[in-house]
Amino acid sequence: MLDDRDRKLLGLLQEDADQSVTVLAEKISLSLSACSRRIQRLEEAGYIARRIAVLDRDRIGVPTTVFALIKTTQHSDEWIDGFRRIIRDIPEIVEVHRLTGNYDYILKIVLPRVEHYDVIYKQIVRKTELFDVSASISMEVLKSGGAFPVDYAV
């Protein structure tokens, strides 16, 4: 069971996981060793899945985002496993969700420029059968990479 300090610690780590344990301990009014033990416990319990560096997309050359909506007539386990392998092997595809509604999947694709979408599109359609693909170009990011709300954690 998490307490308020655990939740505050999780929120602080989401803002900046590079903060020293000393700074974190000070912010949540704990000793250095107690704070360190809490972080270790949260990691072991799976609340902290991993720590990553968030890169500047412009600096690394992938400023463009395309969302591809996919419809398929295939829903067998074999097709889904194959589709997972295809998308796993394309690094420009950074996020994929299975959906309810009119489309089956949405892919978030990061690219050096919008014209590069055709390269990714062809990599997918050469390897699997799709019924329909519709793509939209992100014009502006209004919110991204937000921290998860920690108030619901138990």
Say if pTM beats, i.e. exceeds, 0.95. Answer: no
Percent of the chain clearing pLDDT 90 (strictly above): 94
Match 């309810």 to its residue by tokens: 100
Q: Model confidence at 146, in pLDDT bands (50, 70, 90)?
A: confident
Match 């074999």 to its residue by tokens: 78
Looking at domain 4-44, which of 3.30.70.270, 2.60.120.10, 3.40.50.10540, 1.10.10.10 is its CATH number? 1.10.10.10
| pLDDT digit string, tens, across residues 47-88 | 999 999 889 999 999 999 999 999 999 999 999 999 999 999
Q: What is the mean pLDDT of residues 15-31?
A: 96
**Identity (one letter) of the amino acid at 13?**
L
How is residue 79 written in tokens? 């097709």
Domain 57-137 has CATH 1.10.1040.10: no
Neighbouring residues of 135: CB distance < 8 A, sequence distance ≥ 6? 66, 67, 68, 69, 117, 121
| pLDDT digit string, tens, across residues 25-39 | 999 999 999 999 999
